[in-house]
Amino acid sequence: MNYFSDKENGTPFRTMEDITIHIWNGIVLIINEFIANASLAASFPERCDDSGEICGCDEVALGDGIKSIIPNLGMGLNRLTEPTVSLFDIDIEAQDINTYAVLDLVEYIYRNIKDVRQIGNYHTYLKHYHYCIDDRGTNRKAFQEKINELFERNGLNYTLTDAGQIERVISLPLNLIIYRVVHTKDTELNRLVSDATGKIRLPKLEDRKLALEKLWDAFERSKTYFFDDGKVDKRKSLHRVLDKLSGNDTNFRQLLNDECLALTKIGNDYQIRHFEKDRIAIENSDEIDYLFYRMFSYINLFSKCID
């Protein structure tokens, strides 16, 4: 839903990566809504003492399920209070939130939501309705929309997909290229690129670093694309690759050669394929996006021009 400020100013830039207290409280509010409408009753059923039929969500069982699957969440489904500040500017009762655990929680809830419908009349003695499962995906879709609206309105750099997975919202230029399928005669090279494009969408920084590693592995493999009598001469192979990619245009070939040297140096100097202490650490997702986009541009050209 678009609000007045969205029409006037546009939606917030999605640059935030951490779940704040007020975002957590919004997530809890949404989850409690789907507990109340019995969407989680199929996975965590509370049974009527009289008939044994489902009459709601067993919140204790839901809590146990969350603790068993997401042990590092460290808190229940309760709203948190904003930290207060004393006269001495010291935060009181500040609570740490594990962003990745919260994102795991969102996925977990999505996977356990099902549609239900009321059956029979209101059970006046025990004051509840009875339900049966009639799952058509409607409640999961509603949950997805509410979570994504919360993320978008708060500038959070994640989205809940139709498959129930949290992915990072990536820039439009990068998004356009990573959905291109790299198809060469080298199936291992294709697999490395596919793994890289899958992991670059994930929220965790370590997964995105691994995406860079896979892409640089594909780059190194591309240098040995051509064989001579079953043997690989890396230098000769790379010369043939550059000839193909440049169409024997001397100036463009020199540009590609310089770019290959630069990309090789980046792979050696940064903690991408090598992790010795003297290598340069990659600190944030913006650096990852830049390096991934730069390398994928080369890989994309390679896959289009190579035989």
Q: Label residue 5 by pLDDT band (50, 70, 90).
A: low
What is each CA distance from 244 to 58, 76, 248, in whole angstroms? Answer: 63, 59, 7
The predicted model gives 75-101 an average pLDDT of 71
Lowest-pLDDT choice from 14-23, 176-185, 250-259: 176-185
Which letter does DSSP use for residue 272 in this model?
A: T
Q: What is the pLDDT of residue 16?
A: 86
Greater confidence (189 vs 8) lies with: 189
Q: What is the pLDDT of residue 286?
A: 87
Q: What is the pLDDT of residue 9?
A: 61
Structure tokens at 279: 């290598």
d(CA 261, CA 12): 39
Q: Label residue 162 by pLDDT band (50, 70, 90).
A: very high
Contact assessment for residue 237 and residue 225, using Cβ atoms and an 8 Å cutoff? yes
Greater confidence (103 vs 231) lies with: 103
Q: What is the pLDDT of residue 61?
A: 96
User: Packing angle between helix 250-269 and helix 234-246, nearest 10 degrees?
Assistant: 130
Identity of residue 287: E
283-297 residue pLDDT tens: 888 899 899 999 999
190-217 residue pLDDT tens: 999 999 999 998 988 999 999 999 999 9
Structure tokens at 91: 């935060």
Q: What is the pLDDT of residue 197?
A: 92
Nearest alpha carbon to residue 221 among 295, 149, 133: 295
90-115 residue pLDDT tens: 444 446 899 999 999 999 999 999 99
263-283 residue pLDDT tens: 999 999 999 998 898 999 998
Q: What is the pLDDT of residue 217?
A: 97
Q: Could you tell me the pTM of the whole model?
A: 0.77
